[in-house]
């Protein structure tokens, strides 16, 4: 039942690849290349069409990670990932996004992925998100040969994917990193104990626990952080979000934000990899999402351990996961078998799709 405090956590997710990854050596140290060279004004204009604003940005040589008023955007020289929640109109930003890409020499995406799980409140969505068919009709204006998939049972947790492969995408496939693996864990019915971790304490509580200098700039070059960042950083440490996202070498960079009055988001970047987390802790519409392409080696744990950690961190009652693995990648032995028998959960679905360049797994689970 929708009421005035209900929120649509489940996100819309767009990923566009415009070229094969650049060889970093060929950039001659120029980190502002391709889409990474696009000015902030242009991104702001594009995002306004999706009804999003930028709250903060962290960068590595390989990626700019934007924390948005409604989720996240990751900009690489050759690809972009845009994830937005609520009643945002992500796809309304697509024409502007394609114009911006063409202004830096990318005429058409090699690969397009648009996906989302089933909405909690589909009737609240705005055009072109009013139904999956409406979204597909809209996407096919830009990608007439793109294919639409409904994965899983339509009366329970399911997931939609629109995928387009450009004619010249052999280049994309031959350049896929064998470790290219994108995992999404989409969780609902959070346990009361875990969702409490995502209700903000007061700043006084944070200062009592961490000291008055917590998150204060060390020198005058550093910006003063907002309350949202200070609370978000503290909550990321306390809730286990930081541990879930951190790479084994401790060099990942986290950008965490607590929304007023409620809601938590964080981006993590590490070299050319990312992780992103968004949490709606309200009991009647609780939802948490975790997405990452950090490799097993970089995390220092198996994909199964990462999934288990995510599910525990958010106390998921029910969850779905999607896993895109580049073909030829060193698939974790027995991952599929382990997923079929996930401890403490009942497996509802387990589906494997064979796509050009990728194998996709969709699985959904409910509390036993």
* Residue 15 in contact with ligand PUT, rule: CB under 6 A: yes
* Residue 13 in contact with ligand PUT, rule: CB under 6 A: yes
Task: State which of positions 260-279 bind ligand PUT (CB under 6 A).
Answer: none
Compare residues 113 and 270 and give the one whose CB is closer to ligand PUT: 113
Of 155, 186, 184, the residue nearest 286 (C-alpha): 186
Single out the catalytic residue among 56, 60, 69, 71: 71
71 assigned to active site: yes
* Residue 359 in contact with ligand PUT, rule: CB under 6 A: no
Compare residues 13 and 321 and give the one whose CB is closer to ligand PUT: 13
Binding residues for ligand PUT, rule CB under 6 A, total: 6
Task: Answer whether 329's CB lies under 8 Å from 181's CB.
Answer: yes
8 assigned to active site: yes
The residue from 74, 113, 159, 319 that contacts ligand PUT (CB under 6 A) is 113
Distance CA 21, CA 71 (A): 25
Number of Cβ atoms within 10 Å of the Cβ of 274:
24
85 assigned to active site: yes
Cβ at position 196, least distance to ligand PUT in Å = 30
The contact pattern for ligand PUT, residues 212-251, with x = CB under 6 A and - = no contact, is ----------------------------------------
Task: Answer whether 15's CB lies under 8 Å from 110's CB.
Answer: no
Using alpha carbons, list the distances in angstroms from residue 54 to 14, 119, 129, 190: 17, 24, 22, 27
Task: Answer whether 263's CB lies under 8 Å from 279's CB.
Answer: yes
Compare residues 206 and 321 and give the one whose CB is closer to ligand PUT: 321
The residue from 115, 118, 233, 329 that contacts ligand PUT (CB under 6 A) is 115
Single out the catalytic residue among 239, 265, 320, 364: 265
Distance CA 146, CA 140 (A): 6
Coil, strand, or helix at residue 220? coil
Cβ at position 182, least distance to ligand PUT in Å = 4
Task: Answer whether 37's CB lies under 8 Å from 27's CB.
Answer: no
Compare residues 235 and 277 and give the one whose CB is closer to ligand PUT: 277
Element (H, E) at 310: helix 303-313
Compare residues 161 and 235 and give the one whose CB is closer to ligand PUT: 161
Of 77, 81, 87, the residue nearest 112 (C-alpha): 81
- Exposed (0-12), middle (13-18) or buried (19+): which is 341, by Cβ within 10 Å? exposed
The residue from 69, 84, 118, 182 that contacts ligand PUT (CB under 6 A) is 182
Catalytic residues: 8, 11, 71, 85, 265, 278
**Contact residues: ligand PUT, CB under 6 A:** 13, 15, 113, 115, 182, 324
């Amino acid at each position: 039942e929708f009421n005035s405090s209900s929120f649509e956590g489940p996100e819309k997710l767009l990923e566009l690849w415009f070229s094969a990854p650049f060889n970093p050596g060929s950039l001659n140290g120029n980190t502002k290349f391709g889409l990474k060279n696009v000015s902030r004004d242009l991104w702001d204009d594009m995002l306004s069409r999706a009804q999003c604003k930028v709250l903060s940005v962290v960068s590595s040589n390989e990626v700019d990670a934007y924390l948005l008023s409604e989720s996240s955007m990751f900009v690489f020289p050759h690809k972009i990932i845009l994830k937005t929640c609520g009643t945002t109109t992500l796809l309304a930003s697509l024409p502007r996004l394609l114009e911006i890409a063409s202004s830096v020499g990318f005429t058409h995406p090699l690969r397009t992925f648009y996906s989302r799980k089933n909405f909690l409140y589909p009737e609240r969505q705005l055009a072109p998100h009013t139904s999956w068919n409406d979204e597909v009709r809209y996407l096919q204006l830009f990608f007439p040969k793109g294919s639409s998939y409904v994965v899983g049972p339509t009366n329970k947790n399911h997931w939609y994917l629109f995928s387009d492969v450009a004619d010249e995408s052999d280049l994309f496939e031959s350049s896929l990193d064998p470790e290219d693996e994108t995992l999404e864990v989409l969780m609902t019915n959070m346990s009361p104990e875990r969702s409490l971790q995502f209700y903000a304490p007061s700043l006084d509580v944070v200062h009592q626990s961490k000291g008055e200098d917590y998150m204060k700039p060390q020198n005058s070059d550093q910006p003063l952080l907002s309350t949202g960042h200070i609370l978000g950083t503290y909550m990321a440490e306390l809730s286990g979000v930081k541990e879930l996202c951190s790479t084994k070498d401790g060099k990942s960079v986290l950008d965490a934000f607590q929304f007023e009055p409620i809601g938590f988001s964080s981006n993590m970047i590490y070299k050319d990899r990312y992780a992103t987390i968004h949490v709606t802790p309200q009991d009647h519409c609780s939802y948490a999402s975790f997405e990452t392409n950090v490799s097993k080696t970089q995390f220092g744990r198996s994909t199964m351990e990462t999934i288990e950690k995510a599910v525990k961190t958010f106390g998921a009652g029910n969850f779905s996961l999607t896993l895109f693995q580049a073909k030829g990648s060193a698939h974790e032995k027995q991952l599929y078998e382990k997923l079929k028998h996930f401890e403490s959960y009942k497996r509802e679905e387990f589906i494997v799709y064979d796509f050009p360049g990728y194998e996709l797994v969709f699985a959904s689970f409910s509390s036993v």
